Amino acid sequence: MPNPSRRVVSSLIFAASTLVPFLTTSATAQKPFQIEQRWTIGGTGGWDYLTADPTSHRLYIAHLTRVDVVDTNTGKVIGAVEGLTRCHGVVIAPDGKTGFASDGGANNVVVFDTSNFSTLTKIPAGTNPDGMAYEGSTNTLWAFNGTSKNATVIDVASRKAIGTVALPGRPEFPQSDDKGTVFVNIEDKNSLVRLDAKAQKVTATWPLAGCDSPSGLAFDKDGGRLFSVCDGKKMVVTDSHTGKSLGTPTIGDGPDASGYDASKKLAFSSNGDGTLSVVDASQATYPVIQTLSTMKGARTMAFDSSTGKIYTVTAKFGPTPPATAATPRPRPSILPDSFTVLVIGQD
């Protein structure tokens, strides 16, 4: 997930430009991606990761002090998980009845009821819990703590922490194969870690050559490939069994999230420069087949496997405050009520 030091009425739109042509291949003989809708969510403050729940047709958006919940059939906000301090991400349990939100500002994981979005309990974690992943074979939730550089392992059934795993650096986004293995990017070490979920220990650390500050991570479970997006306009493709690098396609600048469409063998990177990179993962050379113009700051995303839609979010920005010793790289202000979801598809 994004480190806090690094980031913080629907209308139909068909006029989305692309920076490079969409190339027809055996895997992607379809229309180019385009922005289909824009949903104005409003509110104030920054945001972090998105989670698309294909079963309930909902989009969960970590929106600083709350989780906005959007009905993806209508584009309307249907509720919110309130009272958070600095929310980073959301995981929905397999039964669909319970959700988990990492509250980095309060150092806990908030458990909520998806029927009414009320808080059920709060589970203490490490310092600044950020990215999270559910691991199916152990029925555990893994909350990765960016500041304390470890992972809190939570038993989903009892809603209690059952372990802490030390990591070699600051974790970013994780993925699980649901067969006992969890993977996570290590941002400050430019590496990828493999963990044994049952033994609760690190089993491998793989360097990500050509990668600077890996953040978003997508997973091709069937093909055993991991897609890390990095600063320096690089995506690193890694064999999840051996740690071998399989490719380093060039993507947009300032990426923060990635996604994978198993049916079309496409990998995606959402980039802060206002682009979405589309990579053809069916080819050994991993060519970038489209660069879609989105909006500046739209660097987090979620892929909906039930519809093939991609969701990304951003807002309109005001002036950037002057740099100070405490904040040497200030961010521009966010204009109130300009927070927007972009819906991207191939219709």
- Bridge partners (DSSP) of residue 340 are 40, 314
Structure token digits, residue 30: 């379809």
pLDDT at 78: 98
pLDDT at 5: 39
pLDDT at 320: 87
DSSP 126-138: SSSEEEEEEETTT
Euclidean distance between CA atoms 346 and 314, whole angstroms = 21
Euclidean distance between CA atoms 228 and 217, whole angstroms = 5
Of the candidates 76, 71, 70, 13, the residue with the CA atom closest to the CA atom of residue 47: 70
DSSP 300-324: -EEEETTTTEEEEEE--B-PPPPP-
Of the candidates 235, 220, 213, the residue with the CA atom closest to the CA atom of residue 183: 220
Within a 10 A sphere around the Cβ of 291, how many other Cβ atoms? 23
Going residue by residue through the chain (347 aa), what tens digit of pLDDT does each one get? Answer: 444 434 333 333 333 333 444 454 444 456 899 999 999 999 988 999 999 999 999 999 999 999 999 999 999 999 999 999 999 999 999 999 999 999 999 999 999 999 999 999 999 999 999 999 999 999 999 999 999 999 999 999 999 999 999 999 999 999 999 999 999 999 999 999 999 999 999 999 999 999 999 999 999 999 999 999 999 999 999 999 999 999 999 999 999 999 999 999 999 999 999 999 999 999 999 999 999 999 999 999 999 999 999 999 999 998 888 988 888 888 888 999 999 999 999 97
Of the candidates 168, 169, 243, 245, the residue with the CA atom closest to the CA atom of residue 206: 243
Euclidean distance between CA atoms 11 and 335, whole angstroms = 20
DSSP 74-133: TTEEEEEE---SSEEEEEE-TTSSEEEEEETTTTEEEEEETTT--EEEEEE-SSSEEEEE
Instruction: Give the sign of the dihedral formed by CA 250, CA 252, CA 256, CA 258.
Output: negative
Euclidean distance between CA atoms 63 and 88, whole angstroms = 8
Euclidean distance between CA atoms 263 and 269, whole angstroms = 17
pLDDT at 10: 31
pLDDT at 279: 98
- The residue with tokens 């067969």 is 179
pLDDT at 29: 55
Euclidean distance between CA atoms 237 and 210, whole angstroms = 11
Euclidean distance between CA atoms 13 and 36, whole angstroms = 5
Helices (H) and strands (E) in the chain, counts: 0, 30
Backbone angles phi, psi at 187, to 5 degrees: -65, -45
Of the candidates 139, 126, 95, 128, the residue with the CA atom closest to the CA atom of residue 113: 95
pLDDT at 30: 67
Backbone angles phi, psi at 189, to 5 degrees: -115, 0
pLDDT at 328: 84
